[in-house]
Structure 1
Amino acid sequence: MTNEFVLEAITREFPESVLLSSEPYGMLTVEIKKDDIKKVIHYLKDSSLEINFLTDICGIHYPEHPAQEIGVVYHLHNMMTNFRIRLKAFMTREDTEIDSLTDLYAGANWMERETFDFYGIKFKGHPDLRPILNMEDLGYHPMLKEYKLEDGTRTDKNDAMFGR
Protein backbone atom coordinates (compact mmCIF):
# COMPACT_ATOMS: atom_id res chain seq x y z
CA MET A 1 0.00 0.00 0.00
CA THR A 2 1.43 3.38 -1.01
CA ASN A 3 0.74 6.97 0.00
CA GLU A 4 -0.54 7.73 -3.49
CA PHE A 5 -2.96 4.78 -3.44
CA VAL A 6 -4.45 5.73 -0.05
CA LEU A 7 -4.68 9.43 -0.92
CA GLU A 8 -6.42 8.58 -4.20
CA ALA A 9 -8.89 6.33 -2.34
CA ILE A 10 -9.71 9.08 0.19
CA THR A 11 -10.12 11.80 -2.46
CA ARG A 12 -12.26 9.50 -4.60
CA GLU A 13 -14.58 8.68 -1.70
CA PHE A 14 -14.58 12.17 -0.10
CA PRO A 15 -13.67 14.70 -2.83
CA GLU A 16 -14.93 17.72 -0.88
CA SER A 17 -13.36 16.71 2.45
CA VAL A 18 -9.66 16.76 1.58
CA LEU A 19 -8.20 20.23 2.03
CA LEU A 20 -4.48 19.57 1.81
CA SER A 21 -2.04 16.67 1.63
CA SER A 22 1.69 16.28 2.07
CA GLU A 23 4.30 13.63 2.90
CA PRO A 24 6.64 14.94 5.59
CA TYR A 25 9.31 12.33 6.31
CA GLY A 26 7.44 9.94 4.01
CA MET A 27 4.25 9.76 6.10
CA LEU A 28 1.04 10.65 4.31
CA THR A 29 -0.51 13.65 6.07
CA VAL A 30 -3.99 14.76 5.03
CA GLU A 31 -5.90 17.78 6.28
CA ILE A 32 -9.62 16.99 6.41
CA LYS A 33 -12.63 19.23 7.03
CA LYS A 34 -13.53 19.12 10.70
CA ASP A 35 -17.10 17.99 10.08
CA ASP A 36 -15.96 15.08 7.88
CA ILE A 37 -13.07 13.68 9.92
CA LYS A 38 -15.11 10.92 11.58
CA LYS A 39 -16.56 9.76 8.25
CA VAL A 40 -13.08 9.58 6.71
CA ILE A 41 -11.62 7.66 9.67
CA HIS A 42 -14.60 5.28 9.64
CA TYR A 43 -13.99 4.66 5.94
CA LEU A 44 -10.26 4.01 6.49
CA LYS A 45 -11.08 1.52 9.23
CA ASP A 46 -13.89 -0.42 7.56
CA SER A 47 -12.79 -0.33 3.91
CA SER A 48 -10.36 -2.69 2.22
CA LEU A 49 -7.57 -0.33 3.33
CA GLU A 50 -7.94 -1.81 6.85
CA ILE A 51 -6.26 1.10 8.60
CA ASN A 52 -7.75 -0.10 11.84
CA PHE A 53 -5.37 0.85 14.66
CA LEU A 54 -5.60 4.26 16.32
CA THR A 55 -2.07 5.05 17.46
CA ASP A 56 -2.63 8.52 18.88
CA ILE A 57 -4.86 11.58 19.11
CA CYS A 58 -3.35 14.89 20.10
CA GLY A 59 -4.09 18.59 19.95
CA ILE A 60 -2.13 21.46 18.43
CA HIS A 61 -2.37 25.23 18.85
CA TYR A 62 -1.31 27.81 16.26
CA PRO A 63 -2.26 31.20 17.76
CA GLU A 64 -0.83 33.02 14.73
CA HIS A 65 -3.50 31.41 12.46
CA PRO A 66 -6.92 32.52 13.83
CA ALA A 67 -8.94 30.63 11.19
CA GLN A 68 -7.10 27.39 12.04
CA GLU A 69 -5.96 28.08 15.57
CA ILE A 70 -6.81 24.74 17.19
CA GLY A 71 -6.26 21.36 15.59
CA VAL A 72 -6.64 17.67 16.31
CA VAL A 73 -4.13 15.20 14.87
CA TYR A 74 -4.95 11.52 14.40
CA HIS A 75 -2.28 8.88 13.75
CA LEU A 76 -3.64 5.65 12.26
CA HIS A 77 -1.89 2.42 11.34
CA ASN A 78 -2.54 -0.68 9.25
CA MET A 79 -0.69 -3.36 11.23
CA MET A 80 -0.74 -5.91 8.38
CA THR A 81 1.02 -3.71 5.80
CA ASN A 82 2.74 -1.36 8.29
CA PHE A 83 1.13 1.64 6.59
CA ARG A 84 0.77 4.79 8.67
CA ILE A 85 -1.26 7.92 8.02
CA ARG A 86 -1.68 11.23 9.83
CA LEU A 87 -4.98 13.13 9.60
CA LYS A 88 -5.47 16.71 10.77
CA ALA A 89 -8.59 18.76 11.36
CA PHE A 90 -8.50 22.45 12.28
CA MET A 91 -11.01 24.79 13.89
CA THR A 92 -11.31 28.29 15.28
CA ARG A 93 -10.83 29.07 18.95
CA GLU A 94 -14.55 29.85 19.28
CA ASP A 95 -15.64 26.46 17.90
CA THR A 96 -13.42 23.84 19.52
CA GLU A 97 -15.75 20.88 19.14
CA ILE A 98 -15.22 17.77 17.02
CA ASP A 99 -16.82 14.32 16.81
CA SER A 100 -15.63 11.66 19.24
CA LEU A 101 -14.15 8.42 17.93
CA THR A 102 -14.95 6.37 21.04
CA ASP A 103 -17.59 4.38 19.16
CA LEU A 104 -14.97 3.40 16.53
CA TYR A 105 -11.96 2.89 18.82
CA ALA A 106 -12.21 2.14 22.55
CA GLY A 107 -8.69 3.53 22.99
CA ALA A 108 -9.86 6.96 21.84
CA ASN A 109 -11.50 7.45 25.24
CA TRP A 110 -8.36 8.36 27.17
CA MET A 111 -6.67 10.09 24.23
CA GLU A 112 -9.66 12.41 23.77
CA ARG A 113 -9.81 13.10 27.50
CA GLU A 114 -6.13 14.04 27.49
CA THR A 115 -6.60 16.32 24.46
CA PHE A 116 -9.58 17.97 26.16
CA ASP A 117 -7.59 18.36 29.36
CA PHE A 118 -4.61 20.08 27.75
CA TYR A 119 -6.20 21.97 24.83
CA GLY A 120 -9.88 22.40 25.74
CA ILE A 121 -11.10 20.60 22.62
CA LYS A 122 -14.56 19.12 23.23
CA PHE A 123 -15.38 15.76 21.66
CA LYS A 124 -19.07 15.44 20.79
CA GLY A 125 -20.48 12.11 21.93
CA HIS A 126 -17.67 11.26 24.34
CA PRO A 127 -19.04 9.15 27.24
CA ASP A 128 -17.00 10.80 30.03
CA LEU A 129 -15.24 13.97 28.91
CA ARG A 130 -13.45 15.30 31.98
CA PRO A 131 -9.83 16.06 32.89
CA ILE A 132 -7.60 13.02 33.15
CA LEU A 133 -4.20 14.41 34.22
CA ASN A 134 -4.88 17.90 35.57
CA MET A 135 -7.03 18.88 38.53
CA GLU A 136 -10.67 19.39 37.59
CA ASP A 137 -10.69 22.92 39.03
CA LEU A 138 -7.50 24.02 37.22
CA GLY A 139 -9.45 26.56 35.15
CA TYR A 140 -7.25 26.63 32.06
CA HIS A 141 -5.71 24.35 29.46
CA PRO A 142 -1.92 24.33 29.96
CA MET A 143 -0.79 23.40 26.43
CA LEU A 144 -2.40 26.45 24.80
CA LYS A 145 0.29 28.94 23.79
CA GLU A 146 -1.20 31.88 25.63
CA TYR A 147 1.13 32.02 28.61
CA LYS A 148 4.72 33.23 28.81
CA LEU A 149 7.30 30.50 29.13
CA GLU A 150 9.16 32.29 31.90
CA ASP A 151 8.29 34.80 34.57
CA GLY A 152 9.72 38.16 33.45
CA THR A 153 9.88 39.45 37.02
CA ARG A 154 12.41 36.89 38.19
CA THR A 155 15.87 38.27 38.85
CA ASP A 156 17.59 35.01 39.77
CA LYS A 157 17.74 33.83 36.14
CA ASN A 158 19.95 35.18 33.41
CA ASP A 159 19.01 34.32 29.81
CA ALA A 160 22.72 34.22 28.87
CA MET A 161 22.98 31.09 31.02
CA PHE A 162 20.56 29.39 28.62
CA GLY A 163 22.27 30.47 25.41
CA ARG A 164 19.92 33.37 24.69
Structure 2
Amino acid sequence: MTFNEIREAISNQFSGSVVQNDELANGQIEINSEHWLEVATFLKTDPKLSFDQLECITGVDTGDDGPLQSHYNLHSMEHRHKVEIIINHDRNDPKVSSIEQIWRIGDWFERETYDMFGIVYEGHRDLRRILCPDDWEGWPLRKDYETQESFHGILVPKIKEEEGWE
Protein backbone atom coordinates (compact mmCIF):
# COMPACT_ATOMS: atom_id res chain seq x y z
CA MET A 1 0.00 0.00 0.00
CA THR A 2 1.09 3.55 -0.60
CA PHE A 3 1.23 6.07 2.22
CA ASN A 4 -1.95 7.76 0.97
CA GLU A 5 -3.76 4.40 0.90
CA ILE A 6 -2.68 3.72 4.49
CA ARG A 7 -3.90 7.15 5.59
CA GLU A 8 -7.19 6.63 3.73
CA ALA A 9 -7.70 3.17 5.29
CA ILE A 10 -7.41 4.70 8.77
CA SER A 11 -9.72 7.60 7.90
CA ASN A 12 -12.34 5.28 6.40
CA GLN A 13 -12.30 2.91 9.38
CA PHE A 14 -12.22 5.60 12.11
CA SER A 15 -14.01 8.81 11.18
CA GLY A 16 -12.36 11.82 12.79
CA SER A 17 -9.26 9.91 13.87
CA VAL A 18 -6.80 11.50 11.43
CA VAL A 19 -5.85 15.10 12.19
CA GLN A 20 -5.30 17.35 9.19
CA ASN A 21 -1.77 18.74 9.59
CA ASP A 22 -0.02 20.15 6.53
CA GLU A 23 3.28 20.54 8.41
CA LEU A 24 3.91 16.80 8.66
CA ALA A 25 6.53 15.09 6.53
CA ASN A 26 5.59 12.40 4.04
CA GLY A 27 5.03 9.15 5.90
CA GLN A 28 3.68 10.83 9.05
CA ILE A 29 0.06 10.71 10.21
CA GLU A 30 -1.30 12.55 13.24
CA ILE A 31 -4.00 10.63 15.11
CA ASN A 32 -6.41 11.92 17.78
CA SER A 33 -5.37 10.36 21.07
CA GLU A 34 -8.88 9.16 21.93
CA HIS A 35 -8.83 6.88 18.85
CA TRP A 36 -5.27 5.62 19.29
CA LEU A 37 -5.88 2.19 20.86
CA GLU A 38 -8.44 1.20 18.22
CA VAL A 39 -6.31 2.59 15.38
CA ALA A 40 -3.23 0.75 16.67
CA THR A 41 -5.14 -2.54 16.83
CA PHE A 42 -6.40 -1.96 13.28
CA LEU A 43 -2.90 -1.16 12.00
CA LYS A 44 -1.58 -4.46 13.33
CA THR A 45 -4.50 -6.79 12.58
CA ASP A 46 -5.90 -5.57 9.25
CA PRO A 47 -4.50 -7.99 6.60
CA LYS A 48 -3.89 -5.20 4.08
CA LEU A 49 -1.88 -3.18 6.61
CA SER A 50 -0.30 -5.82 8.88
CA PHE A 51 2.04 -3.49 10.80
CA ASP A 52 3.59 -6.31 12.76
CA GLN A 53 6.70 -4.45 13.91
CA LEU A 54 6.84 -1.48 16.27
CA GLU A 55 10.32 -0.13 15.61
CA CYS A 56 10.34 2.72 18.11
CA ILE A 57 8.32 5.04 20.30
CA THR A 58 9.89 8.36 21.10
CA GLY A 59 8.79 11.54 22.78
CA VAL A 60 9.10 15.03 21.38
CA ASP A 61 8.80 18.32 23.24
CA THR A 62 7.69 20.92 20.71
CA GLY A 63 8.78 23.69 23.07
CA ASP A 64 7.30 26.83 24.58
CA ASP A 65 3.69 26.05 25.42
CA GLY A 66 3.30 23.56 22.58
CA PRO A 67 2.26 19.95 23.04
CA LEU A 68 4.36 16.95 23.91
CA GLN A 69 4.21 14.20 21.30
CA SER A 70 4.55 10.44 21.07
CA HIS A 71 5.95 9.21 17.74
CA TYR A 72 5.39 5.56 16.77
CA ASN A 73 7.44 4.08 13.92
CA LEU A 74 5.65 1.05 12.46
CA HIS A 75 6.76 -1.40 9.78
CA SER A 76 5.03 -4.23 7.95
CA MET A 77 7.43 -7.08 7.27
CA GLU A 78 4.88 -8.73 4.97
CA HIS A 79 3.97 -5.70 2.87
CA ARG A 80 7.21 -3.73 3.30
CA HIS A 81 5.57 -0.44 4.10
CA LYS A 82 6.20 1.98 6.96
CA VAL A 83 4.38 4.77 8.71
CA GLU A 84 5.06 7.16 11.57
CA ILE A 85 2.10 7.91 13.81
CA ILE A 86 2.11 11.10 15.88
CA ILE A 87 -0.05 11.71 18.94
CA ASN A 88 -0.18 15.18 20.52
CA HIS A 89 -0.52 15.51 24.31
CA ASP A 90 -1.44 18.41 26.56
CA ARG A 91 1.92 19.22 28.18
CA ASN A 92 0.23 19.71 31.57
CA ASP A 93 -1.49 16.30 31.51
CA PRO A 94 0.23 14.14 28.87
CA LYS A 95 -1.48 10.78 28.55
CA VAL A 96 -2.54 8.27 25.91
CA SER A 97 -3.59 4.61 25.82
CA SER A 98 -0.78 2.09 26.12
CA ILE A 99 -0.13 -0.20 23.16
CA GLU A 100 2.11 -2.67 25.01
CA GLN A 101 -0.58 -5.36 24.73
CA ILE A 102 -0.61 -4.92 20.93
CA TRP A 103 3.16 -4.79 20.38
CA ARG A 104 5.00 -6.30 23.39
CA ILE A 105 8.15 -4.27 22.72
CA GLY A 106 6.03 -1.21 23.47
CA ASP A 107 6.54 -2.01 27.16
CA TRP A 108 10.14 -0.79 27.13
CA PHE A 109 9.57 2.08 24.70
CA GLU A 110 6.65 3.47 26.73
CA ARG A 111 8.60 3.23 29.98
CA GLU A 112 11.54 5.11 28.47
CA THR A 113 9.31 7.84 27.04
CA TYR A 114 7.51 8.12 30.37
CA ASP A 115 10.83 8.39 32.20
CA MET A 116 12.24 11.11 29.94
CA PHE A 117 9.10 13.14 29.08
CA GLY A 118 6.47 12.25 31.70
CA ILE A 119 3.97 10.98 29.12
CA VAL A 120 1.61 8.56 30.89
CA TYR A 121 0.63 5.45 28.92
CA GLU A 122 -2.72 4.51 30.44
CA GLY A 123 -3.28 0.80 30.90
CA HIS A 124 0.44 -0.03 30.89
CA ARG A 125 0.91 -2.90 33.33
CA ASP A 126 4.21 -1.65 34.82
CA LEU A 127 4.71 2.03 34.00
CA ARG A 128 7.67 3.16 36.08
CA ARG A 129 11.03 4.75 35.49
CA ILE A 130 13.51 2.69 33.51
CA LEU A 131 16.60 4.93 33.21
CA CYS A 132 16.38 7.40 36.10
CA PRO A 133 16.14 6.41 39.76
CA ASP A 134 12.57 5.99 41.02
CA ASP A 135 12.81 9.15 43.13
CA TRP A 136 14.26 11.38 40.38
CA GLU A 137 12.44 14.70 40.10
CA GLY A 138 11.13 15.84 36.74
CA TRP A 139 11.41 14.71 33.14
CA PRO A 140 14.97 15.22 31.78
CA LEU A 141 14.24 15.54 28.04
CA ARG A 142 11.53 18.17 28.38
CA LYS A 143 12.63 21.62 27.31
CA ASP A 144 11.25 23.14 30.51
CA TYR A 145 13.24 20.72 32.70
CA GLU A 146 15.43 22.31 35.34
CA THR A 147 18.31 20.16 36.57
CA GLN A 148 18.30 19.41 40.28
CA GLU A 149 21.15 20.94 42.23
CA SER A 150 21.86 17.65 43.96
CA PHE A 151 20.59 14.09 44.16
CA HIS A 152 20.98 12.29 47.50
CA GLY A 153 23.78 14.68 48.46
CA ILE A 154 25.68 14.36 45.17
CA LEU A 155 26.05 17.56 43.13
CA VAL A 156 24.43 17.32 39.70
CA PRO A 157 26.55 19.13 37.06
CA LYS A 158 24.81 21.77 34.98
CA ILE A 159 25.55 22.82 31.42
CA LYS A 160 26.79 26.35 30.89
CA GLU A 161 25.33 27.64 27.64
CA GLU A 162 28.62 28.80 26.10
CA GLU A 163 31.25 26.70 27.86
CA GLY A 164 29.76 23.22 28.19
CA TRP A 165 29.73 21.19 31.41
CA GLU A 166 30.74 22.72 34.77
User: TM-score, structure 1 length as denominator?
Assistant: 0.84
Equivalent positions of 1:5-154 (< 5 A) are 5-20=5-20, 24=25, 26=26, 28-48=27-47, 49-64=49-64, 66=65, 68-147=66-145, 150-151=159-160
Deviating runs (4+, > 6 A) in structure 1? none
Structure with greater proportional helix content: 1
Which structure 2 residue ranges, 5 or more long, are not aligned?
A: 147-157
Contact 2:110 2:121 in 1 (8 A): yes
Q: Secondary structure of 2:136's partner?
A: coil
Cα 1:126–1:46 change in 2 (3 A) is same
- Cα root mean square deviation, aligned: 2.1
User: TM-score, structure 2 length as denominator?
Assistant: 0.83
Percent identical: 28
Measured against aligned partners, the alpha-carbon deviations of 1:20-52 in whole angstroms (never above 9, x if no partner) come to 35673x5x2100101111111111111121112
Aligned length: 151
Cα 1:93–1:11 change in 2 (3 A) is same
Contact 1:71 1:88 in 2 (8 A): yes
Contact 2:138 2:145 in 1 (8 A): no
